[in-house]
Structure 1
Amino acid sequence: MTKLRQSTFIILLLSALLFVYGCSTNNTTATETNKPAENNNQAGSNDTEQEGEKELKFALGQAVSTLDPHLSVGGSNGAVILNIFEGLYAFNSKLEPVPMLAESTDVSEDGKTYTFHLRQGIKFHNGKEMKAEDAAASLNRWKDKAPRAKNSFGESSFEVVDDYTVALKLNAPQNDTLAQLSHVLNFAAIMPKEVVDSAAPEGITEYIGTGPYKFVEWKKDQYIDVETFADYQSAAGEPDGFSGKKEPQIEKLRFSLVTDTATRFNSFVTGEYSFVDVSLDDLPQVEGQPGIEVIKSISSDYNVVYNKKSPVFSNLTNRQAVNNALNVEEILLGTVSSPELFELNSSYMFKDNATWHSDAGSDQYNLNNPDKAKELLQQSGYDGREIVFLTTKDLGGKFYNATLVVQSQLEKIGFKTRVDTYDYATMLTKRADQGVWDIYVGGFTVPTTPSQLLYFNPTYGFADDAKLAELLKASTAAITPEDIKAANDALQQYAWEYLAVSKIGDTFTYYAIREELQGLILYAGYPNLGNVKVLKS
């Protein structure tokens, strides 16, 4: 093995394993689109000598169901969790894995063994030094709890080599190993072994990480308080995505729950908050205003997810009927209100992801053929059984609006429907129950490899299909660019035949940032607050 430092590890990843991420990175303005991971204008860097405030209030748009990073990170969860916890690796804005708690990594010549050398002297928020036993316990729990990690690593486990070394032995080379360790969803966070060992089935009860902020208090449905961790030891490198240096310039950070979009925006206008998502209707109030920058960032892709265990959609012909009925432009317009904020895309990957984007199966995208859909319903023997849509009005109502448009399109071809609406946290619980829903319409955080697509997993939408699993495994095992393309095209072609989901399209979001908020970095809408400073007015 050859020991690789941070500066050379990405080179190995790109040249030896050819695990290339093709996403671009730029600072954003209100006119830019298509960037999967965005920084603002560094929100004015922290180099200014102007005195800063000691506290920052940050508005969350949805309820927080858990702060357990291994169970769920999405939206509000991610905003909090990603600033408390850290992993061995983190994505930069090009979606490249960069060492964080790992100092360096060895990869065996056959690509099957990864040996992670941990940074020494790193303290958890409880004062304990992070060691290999903590990393191994955390990552093995993550691998067991996170569907995408379990699906990728199977029975492989993270083993302690010595106090500062952890090894992962795979059955075969995998091109997604570091991507899985870097992704923000079902985050591979490192926490003390004793926290892992005492975790209840429903999640951890102590929120102790190594990040720049440590947990203070969580008052359900109101706020979560964190404070700067005085003993935080930052990784090296320029701040980029969630990688690099983190040096917060505030003492206290309150995440306030403000689920109503109008209330959240009005609170920004009055100066209570320095950052907010902006609807199209509200955009004129902030665009071009002095002291406010408006950026446009990739938000998520939207999909119609079928419950493959439900009485109706266990039948492929019924899934085909829905897919033929969909007019995706109408759905996207109903979701984000403007063509400026969506893009048609048949691939499960964003267009800037040059390695994994594929047009295979695109002839089954946006068919908008109600007559064919009705014909398929007759062939399937659909008996008028009511199909249940699962949704939420949280998240600015986007999931709900998209659901209503899909519902209307399906009722026109003969489906009898019902919409069950819950708060976001309850909806997540219901979504895991195969007996209570048939269709879920929702957005998904930027994926970087096919193995991170939850809906290809048997535990999410219940895609229990041997050929899909085989093709997914093949896409992960491919190493050369030619093999990756062939495996990926085969996977996406079959995915459009099997229809675990029907892709709708990709969406964007406007954000407004006050100039006094310095150092904020956005990664697909998730805030890296590790370098923020709030200038005094």
Structure 2
Amino acid sequence: MLNRRQFIGAAGAAAIARPAIAQGTAARTLKFIPETNLAILDPVVTTAAVSTTHGYCVFDNLFAVDDQLRPQPQMAAGATTADDGKTYEIKLRDGLKFHDGEPVRARDCVASLKRWSTRDSFGQALGTVVDEWQAVDDKTIRVRLKRPFPQFLRALGKPHSSAAFIMPERIANSDPMTPVKEMVGSGPFRFVANEFVPGSRIVYEKFEGYVPRQEPANWTAGGKRVNFDRLEWHVITDAATAASALQRGEVDWWERPLPDLMSTLTSDKNVTTSTLDPYGLILGMRFNHLEAPFNNPALRRAILAAVTQDDYMQTVMAGDTDSYRVCRAMFPCGLPGVNELGAGIMKQPPDLKAARAAIEASGYKGEKIVMLHAADHPLIAPLGDITADLLKRLGLNVDVQTMDWGTVVQRRTSKEPVERGGWSIFHTNWPGSSVTNPAENLYIRGAGASGWFGWHDSPEMESLTAQWLASTDEGRAQKLLDDIQRSALNTVPVVPLGQIIPKTAYRSNLQGILTASSPLFWNVRRA
């Protein structure tokens, strides 16, 4: 089995300066170690998980989802439909205000939804059928559709990867292609801008003006009751340092401990480990479809057939076979309706001789493949090393460019050729709960230049997705779901590398940590 430590390349705790974390944890302060650095503050323009987690602190949503991924009113008091499902009217609940003291008005929501619907894949699908977004009065939003959209509330409540967060109108009216810098929301925490130290510390304070719903907290829905005055994120890239800080009580919660440190943490009676998201994470290799050589679907298919998912998952999860599953599908395995249609293509073990022949037949001419390698991300760093080794064994010309995850998140936006700072491959993971249906699964959507990084262009995929969205017949929807998978397995927008179920770790005196696709800091309390 491949050695995980070799891929991470950690020099050990002694070689890295210890972050300045005060000894002891104040009773009213919650200290958290995020999975990686927060490079982009705007949670709408990026799908980076850490930005989504930040977004849930600062912003709120009109609708959210419960643990069955069913949409529930959040900022909304409720919604009604008319005109055979072509008109939705949403009423805002009482007591909503932004961190600058201004009340939340319908026009803020309209501006936010317009901006979100130009960036998010589910939002884009909705946007194509919206005839008018309208603020009827300060408390009423009306959305007129060209035709019924059965997934309307699910779109507004999607839990991850560019969720429909609500911002003040003056901020939401900005260019949707440019990240906003001013962090003013109506969520349960206020961003403390003057204490933000990029790459080191992010600070939030409880927003005293937040009025939670009365229902119990459930996933991203329900009452967001904050039990701490202050929330501090401490970015600690060295795993041994993070583990030591958690065990000594210098921090309260570590989002993603390395799997090979779990035995140390679980043996400490002062530390509790648990599964944060039962849907797990999907590992993936993403191609740049705009530039050679991966603008060639035949080459992408050859790579798909050469991958051994076990190599990736064993390394990421330190050999813990109970924490991962092979999943040769374009949606999370185990969900209703998800058939493992890639099993016939991604044979285990793969035939590398046949893969080399397929690469030659594809017309590959030795073009340089620039792979963005996020060395500081514990669950992504190993993926790049395994892919680089595989591609070299297949005879491809690979240039591994090592950087931190924040730089990958910024660099992957470039559409330039590799000679001018572009890229060919990067690796990522995404919560299974964020890709449960064709509209949300932006990793296989085919929107081209307006789509997700990599810019997969597939009119067939967009047509099939539109048909799935309009379908109200269960049998028809299942056939379309299978057809969508077959289309993705043919064009290969992304190579699925398996499904893992990582754990989170926190001090045993914390209670109320919610199951969700992101760490959520409401409902958490100290025993």
TM-score band, normalised by the shorter chain?
0.7 to 0.9
Cα 1:201–1:464 shift into 2, 3 Å: closer
Rounded Cα–Cα distance in structure 2 between residues aligned with 1:365 and 1:180: 32
Structure 1 distance, partners of 2:362, 2:176, is 44
TM-score, normalised to structure 1, is 0.85
Tell me what 2:520 maps to: 528
Which shifted more, 244-253 or 511-520? 511-520
Report the CA distance shift for 1:246/1:381 in structure 2 as closer, same or farther (over 3 A).
closer
Decide whether the 8 Å contact of 1:73 with 1:81 is kept in 2. Answer: no
Deviations 1:285-308 (A, max 9, x none): 222432432213444101222221
Partner SS for 1:308? coil
Q: Which of 135, 138, 147 is residue 163 of structure 1 equivalent to?
A: 138
User: Which residue among 206, 209, 230 is the counterpart of 1:228?
Assistant: 206
* Match in the other structure for 1:43: none
| Among candidates 414, 417, 422, match of residue 433 of structure 1 | 414
Shift of 1:438: 1.5
Letter in 2 for 1:374: R
Alpha-carbon distance, 1:86 to partner: 0.5
| C-alpha separation in 1, matches of 2:300 and 2:282 | 19
Give the 5 Å matches for 1:114-133: 114-133=88-107
Aligned partner letter, 2:207 = F
Partner of 1:513: 506
For residue 280 of structure 1, the aligned residue among 253, 259, 265 is 259
2:360 is matched with which residue?
378
User: What is the CA-CA distance between 1:90 and the residue it aligns to?
Assistant: 1.0
Q: What is the Cα deviation at residue 147 of structure 1?
A: 4.1
- Tell me which amino acid in the other structure corresponds to 1:127: G
Corresponding residue for residue 7 of structure 2: none
Residue 399 of structure 2 aligns to a residue whose secondary structure is strand
2:191 counterpart of 1:215: yes
Structure with bigger RCO (C-alpha 8 Å, 6+ apart): 1
Quick check: 2:330–2:488 contact (8 Å CA) kept in 1? no
Task: Give the drift of 1:120.
Answer: 2.5
Matches of 2:217 and 2:355 in 1, distance apart? 50
**What is residue 250 of structure 1 aligned with on the other side?**
228
Match runs of 1:104-503 below 5 Å: 104-108=78-82, 110-154=84-128, 156=130, 157-183=132-158, 184-197=160-173, 202-217=178-193, 218-276=196-254, 277-297=256-276, 298=278, 299-338=280-319, 339-354=321-336, 356-366=337-347, 368-396=350-378, 398-434=379-415, 435=417, 436-446=422-432, 447-455=435-443, 456=445, 457-458=447-448, 459-460=451-452, 461-503=454-496
Unaligned segments of structure 2, at least 5 residues = 1-25
Whether contact under 8 Å (1:278, 1:510) holds in the other structure is yes
**RMSD after superposition:** 2.0
> TM-score, normalised on structure 2?
0.86
Gaps of 5+ in 1: 1-51
Q: Is the 8 A contact 1:60 1:76 kept in 2?
A: yes
Between 1:376-385 and 1:361-370, the stretch displaced more is 361-370
Code of the residue aligned with 2:234 in structure 1: it is S
Relative to structure 2, which stretch is displaced further, 357-366 or 372-381?
Answer: 357-366
Partners of 1:195 and 1:313 in 2: CA distance: 37
The aligned residue for residue 28 of structure 1 is none
Aligned AA (2:229): E
Partners of 1:250 and 1:340 in 2: how far apart? 35
* Contact 1:143 1:150 (8 Å CA) reproduced: yes
What amino acid is aligned across from residue 171 of structure 2 in structure 1?
V
The answer as to whether partners of 2:37 and 2:405 remain within 8 angstroms in 1 is yes
User: Partners in 1 of 2:514 and 2:286 — Cα distance?
Assistant: 31
Say if 2:35 is the partner of 1:61.
Answer: yes
- Give the drift of 1:425: 1.9
Amino-acid identity (%): 23
- Pair 448,306 (structure 1): closer, same or farther in 2 beyond 3 Å: same
Instruction: State the Cα deviation string for residues 212-267 of structure 1 (Å, max 9, x = none).
Output: 11122222222121111112111121111011112212111111222222222221
Q: Distance in 2 between matches of 1:343 and 1:83?
A: 31
